[in-house]
Amino acid sequence: MSARNLEVEDLTQFQALLAAGESSLSGWHLQSLDLRGVDFSGLSVESAVFLGCLFDAGVEASLRARGALLFPVLPGVPFDSYRAKLYTGGELYQGIGDGYEATTDGRIYQWTLTAPRNLDGTLATAMHDHSIGDALDDFLNGELASRGVVGVMGGHAISRGSGAYAQAAELAAGIARAGYLLATGGGPGAMEAANLGAWLSRRSTAELDWALAKLAEVPDFKPSVSDWVLVAQQVLDRFPDGVQNLGIPTWFYGHEPPNVFASQIAKYFANAVREAVLLERCTGGIVFLPGAAGTVQEIFQDGCENYYASAASAASSAPMVLLGRQYWTEQLPVWPLLNTLAEGRAMAAKILLADSVAEAVQFLS
């Protein structure tokens, strides 16, 4: 077996490779592993890359002298810059019983507000976002590779208990039932509702209604993120086995906490990277629910890609659905401009203004 250009992301995998007889680590990329206690004396390590790994005293110098490349754990940052996996809600909100500020997510957000803008900090966040992108590739190219990804974008201000929140959940449930992997910006409001709908898409209407009513007990994440999260965890406790779906939030909007109904969370520091990744990954199309400046930006960022697509790529470009005719034509008249841009181009057949969830799902399919 050739082990060249191999990503080694957990200790069990590393031990299995050695047990199978591997003696050369050349070309291996070992990512964020605790390698204390490992004897490297009988292993060839030239051209091996160690990213944020832990070693016994004296081992790092020996590995460097033998040709390995080591990227050290960066000091003073409350996150793993080289993490190999996406986040989960449980991980980000560990310690939520002691308040949001005590959680992993809260401590990282606080760090972004106070960390000095030095090389260590910018390098740590850049390496983190690169690692998250790599982990996202692994997730989407794994067992879910055959499923198209459909995004639902919308505002964070939609409250639990509202008709708009219920509509977003219903929409996402229909998308998931159609066989797509649902993706959102991973935050509150319409994003949470969509992740919820996807998670419960195998459940009955009565069960979804119970979840909506339970969540409505704490309508918003203000004034208490903790109360907002804890009631969501009660829903997860009742329905622990949901459908895989994706959230892609950012610490740039730290005032928007991530929701726990995304089973996998790709959280970024750089919002520009996060926005580009989110739109790029939605190969099955995007539904835009009512939102404000952020949602409008996403509409035209996606529309720009479709507008300038070549004739060959335009035929396979992802559809765009604006859900809410009155909102997108009168309150925020985005549709007339988007529709005008599309005239005479292939993208004209890939955009839809709709009021009904069923119409939106049918258009995507």
Question: pLDDT at residue 202 above 90?
Answer: yes
Q: pLDDT-derived band of residue 59, with 50, 70 and 90 as boundaries? A: very high
> What pLDDT sits at residue 337?
97
CA of residue 222 relative to chain centroid, distance: 23
> What pLDDT sits at residue 153?
96
- The SS3 assignment for 34 reads strand
> What pLDDT sits at residue 342?
95
- The SS3 assignment for 87 reads strand
Instruction: Give the integer Cα–Cα distance in Å for 330 and 176.
Output: 30
Using one digit for the tens of pLDDT, what is the confidence trace for 248-303? 999 998 888 999 999 999 999 999 999 999 999 999 999 999 999 999 999 999 99
> What pLDDT sits at residue 168?
97
Instruction: Give the integer Cα–Cα distance in Å for 131 and 73.
Output: 14
> What pLDDT sits at residue 254?
84
Residue with tokens 């996202």: 136
Closest CA to 168 of 148, 146, 151: 151
Spatial contact of 225 and 100, defined as CB atoms under 8 Å apart: yes
Question: Which pair of structure tokens corresponds to residue 282?
Answer: 């939605």
> What pLDDT sits at residue 315?
64
> What pLDDT sits at residue 311?
67
> What pLDDT sits at residue 50?
97
Q: pLDDT-derived band of residue 1, with 50, 70 and 90 as boundaries? A: very low
Average the pLDDT over 88-113 and give the result.
96
> What pLDDT sits at residue 116?
72
Supply the mean pLDDT for the chain. Answer: 94
- Kind of pairing between the strands at 28-31 and 181-184: unpaired
Q: For the residues of 174-190, what is the DSSP string, one character each? A: HHHHTTPEEEE--SSTH
Q: pLDDT-derived band of residue 143, with 50, 70 and 90 as boundaries? A: confident
The residues with which 285 forms a beta bridge, in sequence order, are: 150
The residues with which 44 forms a beta bridge, in sequence order, are: 24
Average the pLDDT over 186-205 and give the result.
98
CATH class of 147-364: alpha beta
Domain ranges of the chain: 6-71, 147-364
First to last CA, the chain: 42
Amino acid at 313: S
Question: pLDDT at residue 309 above 90?
Answer: no
> What pLDDT sits at residue 2?
44
Q: pLDDT-derived band of residue 144, with 50, 70 and 90 as boundaries? A: confident
Question: Which pair of structure tokens corresponds to residue 164?
Answer: 């708009």
Q: pLDDT-derived band of residue 3, with 50, 70 and 90 as boundaries? A: very low
Question: Which pair of structure tokens corresponds to residue 3?
Answer: 């082990």
> What pLDDT sits at residue 316?
67
> What pLDDT sits at residue 266?
98
- Burial-class residue 146 by CB neighbours within 10 Å (0-12, 13-18, 19+): exposed
Q: For the residues of 308-336, what is the DSSP string, one character each? A: T--HHHHTTPPPEEEE-HHIIIIIS-HHH
